[in-house]
């Protein structure tokens, strides 16, 4: 039994035929979006409908979208679908057919809608990006104080003050402590999600090394993977 994927029929159960159908559907999408004239216009209209579906799905899943109001939510849906359509068309040559075309295209709408909702939800909220001051009692970084206190929270505070750069501290406090969405902070700092995630990765490595050195984390193994 097949199910309709916005005009393209694929099977709903895993089978060799599924892959054949998916590949044919992808070829069909790419071909129609690549030619000139009425065929392409129709394909773009169908693609935009797909993007609307995915953007609406994403906005509908986000609790923070509820407070934005119906009109603002619909604006975001339309804007995200427009942006996603442009993204798909501009990246059509990079589609390798390793997934269904629709799955590949949906992710652009979900990304744009998610980012827009997060930014809209925080649009009137202040984000403090002051550098985190040094702890008032720096002697707590002494080994004997660690041994006596065994206070992980304090060790983390000291580690953040001593092991992180000011930029790493500001980003870590905003995203990991104050829970500012990474896309919101990226917009305020004029950067992007990927750059901030890399900053957090480096900060976490430094902090973990500091905590390991003071006996708060076990020695790292080469095969360590988060549970």
Partner 1 sequence: MNERVRLTPEAIDRLTANTEPWLSCDDCFEQLDVIIDGLTRSNLPLPDAFRVHLMTCPACDEEARSLAALVGAVIR
Site residues (CB under 8 A) for partner 1, limited to 163-192:
172-173, 176-178, 181-183
Q: Site residues for partner 1, window 112-151 (CB under 8 A)?
A: 114-115, 118, 128, 130, 132-133, 135
Query: Nearest distance from residue 37's CB to partner 1, in Å?
Result: 28
Which one among 30, 44, 62, 89 touches partner 1, defined by CB under 8 A?
Answer: 62
Closest C-alpha to 210, from 132, 141, 135: 141
Taking the C-alpha atoms of residue 180 and residue 193, their distance in angstroms, rounded to an integer, is 12
Which residue, 85 or 102, has its beta carbon nearer to partner 1?
102
Question: Least CB distance from residue 184 to partner 1, whole Å?
Answer: 10
Nearest-angstrom CA–CA distance, 8 and 5: 5
Q: Is the dihedral of CA 93, 97, 100, 104 positive or negative?
A: negative
Q: Which of 32, 40, 48, 157 binds partner 1 (CB under 8 A)?
A: 157
- Choices 30-38, 68-76, 95-103, 140-148; region in contact with partner 1 by CB under 8 A: 95-103
Q: Which stretch binds partner 1 (CB under 8 A): 39-47, 65-73, 97-105, 142-150?
A: 97-105
- For binding to partner 1 (CB under 8 A), which residues are involved? 12, 14, 18, 54, 57-58, 61-62, 98-100, 102-104, 106-107, 110-111, 114-115, 118, 128, 130, 132-133, 135, 152-153, 156-157, 160-161, 172-173, 176-178, 181-183, 193-194, 197-198, 200-201, 204-205, 207-208, 211, 217, 220, 224-226
């Amino acid at each position: 039994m097949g199910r309709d994927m916005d005009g393209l029929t694929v099977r709903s159960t895993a089978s060799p035929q599924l892959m054949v159908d998916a590949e044919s559907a992808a070829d069909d999408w790419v071909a129609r979006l690549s030619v000139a004239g009425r065929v392409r216009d129709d394909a773009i209209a169908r693609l935009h409908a797909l993007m609307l579906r995915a953007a609406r799905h994403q906005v509908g899943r986000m609790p923070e979208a509820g407070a934005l109001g119906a009109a603002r939510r619909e604006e975001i849906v339309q804007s995200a679908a427009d942006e996603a359509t442009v993204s798909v068309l501009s990246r059509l040559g990079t589609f390798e057919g390793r997934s269904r075309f629709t799955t590949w295209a949906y992710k652009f709408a979900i990304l744009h809608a998610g980012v827009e909702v997060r930014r809209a939800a925080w649009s009137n909220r202040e984000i403090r990006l002051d550098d985190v001051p040094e702890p008032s009692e720096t002697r707590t970084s002494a080994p004997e104080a660690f041994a006596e206190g065994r206070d992980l929270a304090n060790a983390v505070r000291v580690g953040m003050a001593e092991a992180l750069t000011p930029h790493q501290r500001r980003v870590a406090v905003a995203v990991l402590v104050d829970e500012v969405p990474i896309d919101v902070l990226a917009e305020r700092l004029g950067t992007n999600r990927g750059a901030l995630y890399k900053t957090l990765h480096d900060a976490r490595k430094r902090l973990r090394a500091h905590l390991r050195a003071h006996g708060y984390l076990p020695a790292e193994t080469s095969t360590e993977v988060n549970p």
